[in-house]
Amino acid sequence: MRLKLVPSETKWDFFKYVSATFGASMLAMVVSVVLFFTVGLNFGIDFLGGTTIRTESTNAVDVGAYRQALTPLDLGDVSITEVFDATFEEDQNVSQIRIQQQEGHEAVTPETIQAMEAALRSVDPDITFPSVESVGPKVSGELVQTAILAVVLAIAAVLFYIWLRFEWQFSVGAVVALIHDITLTIGIFCLLQIRFDLTIIAALLTIVGYSLNDTVVVFDRVRENLRRYKKLDLKQVLNLSINETLSRTVMTSVTTLIALVSMYVLGGDVIRGFVFAMIWGIIVGTYSSVFVAAPVLLRLGVKRDWSKPSQGGGTQFANVDA
């Protein structure tokens, strides 16, 4: 009567359709890159500079009237989107207005904000402004740099850690899986045009952490089984290891997804993009540790002779708790 998502003993062949699954992954990555360069990300003000104002009113949002009210202010590019959320009250109407960086100012001037608020009040006297956010070009440039640096550093650090603990082939497998996850996440953000801001970078790094977590658990078992079953070829060992850890892989992903989905539904619109990125990342991260990391490892091969001192790959730390 136990709930079992995965039968207690599985002998599935995860490499039966390896060319199809791996090919699909590569194709998805290519599509993501193409999307990135054609459609592009919907960058938030963190990276572009500019100002966003959140409006709230008991009256319905009239995007057209808002736009008309703001046009005489000559603010350049103005985007107005209505925000819908299950957690809102019946008469809670929210919109998000974004204006571009104003020429010649580091940050938005109080006069601009006051003028905007006055213009919007003339359309809807009940309107309130629960949040205003403004980022100048200097800071947004730095934020882009820091974000890229953070992602690269994170990948480099885990590459190093896994190389320290395993052999270099594992490290490459893990990193290919990581890049796969990040690329696909950026791809889905391009496709759905969800706003990409600083918190999404945090989500990306969490995906890096989670995806690795998953990959490492599989690899840890591979390492153990390589020592135990010296006669089995690498493909069989990989299959055995994935099957043995499958129940755990699914369990952990499901509990994490349960928690995140409740945050997605109930956590409010402010944080929805962030949680969405993590949900997506956990799905692709789980997939990639089985269908990307393992095939790469299979292709690269692993040194099996454990008695000789290692040459080139692996380090003295590799056997710490063997």
Partner 1 sequence: MLHIPFWKRLLIWGVTAVILFMAVPNLFYGRVELHNDAVKTIEAAGETPELAADAAGWPGWMPSGLVNLGLDLRGGAYLLADVQVADVYADRLDGMWPDVRDALREERDTVGAIRRIDGPADELHVRIANPDGMARALEVVRGLARPTLSLTGVGSNDIEVAGQGDVLIVTLSEAEKRATDDRTVQQSVEIVRRRVDEVGTREPSIQRQGESRIVIQVPGIGSADELKSLIGTTAKLTFHPVVSRTTDPDADPGARNLLLPSMDEEGVFYVVEQSHVVSGEELTDAQPSFDQNGRPAVNFRFNPTGARKFGDYTRDNIGSPFAIVLDNEVISAPVIQDHIPGGSGIITGNFTVEGSNELAVLLRAGALPAEMIFLQERTIGPELGQDSIEAGRIATIVAFAAVLVFMFLSYGLFGIFANIALIINVGLIFGLLSIIGATLTLPGIAGIVLTVGMAVDANVLVFERIREELKTARGPSRAIELGYEKALSAIIDANITTFITAVILFALGSGPVRGFSVTLALGIITSVFTAIYVTRLIIVTWYDRRRPKTIEV
List the interface residues with partner 1, window 91-130 (CB under 8 A).
106-108, 110, 113-114, 128-130
Any idea what DSSP says for residue 289?
I
**What residues numbered 33-92 form the site for partner 1, per CB under 8 A?**
54, 56, 87
- Which residue, 82 or 133, is less far from partner 1 as judged by CB? 133
Of the listed pieces 15-23, 179-187, 266-274, 309-317, which binds partner 1 according to CB under 8 A? 266-274
d(C-alpha 80, C-alpha 61), whole Å: 10
Q: Which whole-number Å values give the CA distances from 162 to 73, 238, 240, in the listed order?
A: 55, 18, 21
Query: Would you say 97 and 78 are in contact if contact means Cβ atoms under 8 Å apart?
Result: yes
- Tell me the closest approach of the beta carbon of residue 43 to partner 1, in angstroms: 16
Which of these segments, 185-193, 212-220, 229-237, 294-302, binds partner 1 (CB under 8 A)?
Answer: 212-220
Cβ proximity to partner 1, 17 vs 317, nearer residue: 317
Radius of gyration of the chain (CA): 25
In terms of CB distance, is 68 or 146 closer to partner 1? Answer: 146
User: If binding is defined by CB under 8 A, does position 210 make contact with partner 1?
Assistant: yes
Total residues in contact with partner 1, by rule CB under 8 A: 77
**Residue from the set 234, 257, 300, 318 that interacts with partner 1 by CB under 8 A:** 257
CA dihedral 263, 269, 272, 273 (to 10 degrees): -170
Backbone angles phi, psi at 309, to 5 degrees: -65, 145
CB 218 within 8 A of CB 292: no
Residue 154 binds partner 1 (CB under 8 A)? yes
When asked if residue 265 is in the footprint of partner 1 (CB under 8 A), the reply is: yes
Biggest CA–CA distance in the chain, Å, is 81
Residue (68 or 255) nearer to partner 1, CB: 255
Nearest distance, CB of residue 220 and partner 1, angstroms: 4
- Locate tokens 């043995």: which residue? 244
278 near partner 1, rule: CB under 8 A: yes
Alpha helices in 124-167 (DSSP H): 137-165
